């Protein structure tokens, strides 16, 4: 069966920015519909998550002008990092039933898209990539198809994911700034 830790490491690579000076795990980009984001968790979508009290304390103490310093303080805080890992495992990995998938890359695709675009979209893309009805419900047919997923379904998943991102940009041109990152992310697995 697929391993959450492997997929979570991939997620951390995509949700955090590596620079020459260090790792940045905090962002607050006005065009990002999730708003303020820490370790891949969007505050607007998850305002009640316990990490925000800790993050606000760190921002008050260290400010947001030096994102490397703030990021290091966030990474040193186990109250944040452990909650974030638990959050992703329970709200995405388990919710998407990635733990029943045998093909690690297929499970990683489901998980990463679920985090980036929402579980419902990930489910539908996963279903389409397996050639079954995309009703957004993980029933017996979906589970059986996902258990049998192979490289072929992974390739199809990536193609459908790219079309999804392209449709977002067509509907909302302000999202164009995220195209490069989305496409790199889609092709990463």
CATH of the domain at 144: 1.20.141.10
- The tally of domains found in the chain comes to 2
Residue percentage of the chain with pLDDT more than 90: 88
Statement: residue 32 has pLDDT above 90: no
Q: Is the domain of 67 the same as that of 44?
A: yes
Q: Is the domain of 85 the same as that of 101?
A: no
Listed residues 90, 125, 147: the one ending a domain: 90
Statement: residue 31 has pLDDT above 90: no
- The per-residue pLDDT for 45 is 92
Q: Is the domain of 182 the same as that of 101?
A: yes
Place of tokens 């980036």: 116
- The per-residue pLDDT for 4 is 98
Work out the angle between the directed axes of helices 104-117 and 119-129 (0-180°, nearest 10): 140
- In whole angstroms, give the CA distance from residue 77 to residue 58: 10
Q: Is the domain of 25 the same as that of 76?
A: yes
Pair of tokens at residue 22: 């260090």
Q: Is the domain of 116 the same as that of 82?
A: no
Q: Is the domain of 76 the same as that of 112?
A: no
Q: Is the domain of 120 the same as that of 137?
A: yes
Q: Is the domain of 143 the same as that of 67?
A: no
- The per-residue pLDDT for 19 is 85
- The per-residue pLDDT for 155 is 98
Listed residues 48, 68, 90: the one ending a domain: 90
- The per-residue pLDDT for 30 is 84
- The per-residue pLDDT for 18 is 85
Please count the other Cβ atoms lying within 10 Å of the Cβ belonging to residue 131: 11
- State the residue range of the domain holding 8: 4-90
Listed residues 90, 121, 152: the one ending a domain: 90
Q: Is the domain of 35 the same as that of 82?
A: yes
The residues pairing with 37 across neighbouring beta strands, listed in sequence order, are 27, 42
Query: 10 falls in which pLDDT band (50, 70, 90)?
Result: very high
| 67-118 pLDDT per residue, tens | 999 999 999 999 999 999 999 999 999 999 999 999 999 999 999 999 999 9
Residues sharing a CB contact under 8 Å with residue 55, sequence separation 6 or more, in sequence order:
26, 38, 74, 80
Q: Is the domain of 142 the same as that of 67?
A: no
- The per-residue pLDDT for 141 is 98
Statement: residue 37 has pLDDT above 90: yes
Q: Is the domain of 52 the same as that of 117?
A: no
Q: Is the domain of 101 the same as that of 182?
A: yes
Query: 20 falls in which pLDDT band (50, 70, 90)?
Result: confident
| 118-174 pLDDT per residue, tens | 999 999 999 999 999 999 999 999 999 999 999 999 999 999 999 999 999 999 999
DSSP labels for the chain? ---HHHHHHHHHHHHSEE-SS-EE-EE--TT-TT-SEETTEETTT-TT-THHHHHHHHHHHH-SS-HHHHHHHHHH-HHHHHHHHHHHIIIIITTTTGGG-S-HHHHHHHHHHHHHH-HHHHHHHHHHHTTS---S---HHHHHHHHT--HHHHHHHHHHHHHHHHHHHHH-GGGGGGHHHHHHHHT--
């Amino acid at each position: 069966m697929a391993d959450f830790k492997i997929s979570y490491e991939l997620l951390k690579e995509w949700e955090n920015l590596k620079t020459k000076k260090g790792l940045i795990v905090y962002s607050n980009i006005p065009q990002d519909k999730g708003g303020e984001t820490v370790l891949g968790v969007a505050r607007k979508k998850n305002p009640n998550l316990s990490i925000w009290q800790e993050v606000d304390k760190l921002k008050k103490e260290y400010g947001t002008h030096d994102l490397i310093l703030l990021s290091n303080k966030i990474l040193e805080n186990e109250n944040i990092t452990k909650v974030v890992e638990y959050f992703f495992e329970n709200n995405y990995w388990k919710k998407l039933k990635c733990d029943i998938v045998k093909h690690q890359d297929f499970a990683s695709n489901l998980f990463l898209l679920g985090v980036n675009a929402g579980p419902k979209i990930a489910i539908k893309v996963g279903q389409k990539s397996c050639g079954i009805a995309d009703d957004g419900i993980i029933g017996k047919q979906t589970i059986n198809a996902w258990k049998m997923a192979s490289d072929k379904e992974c390739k199809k998943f990536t193609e459908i994911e790219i079309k999804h991102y392209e449709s977002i940009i067509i509907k909302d041109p302000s999202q164009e700034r995220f195209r490069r990152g989305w496409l790199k992310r889609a092709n990463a697995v």
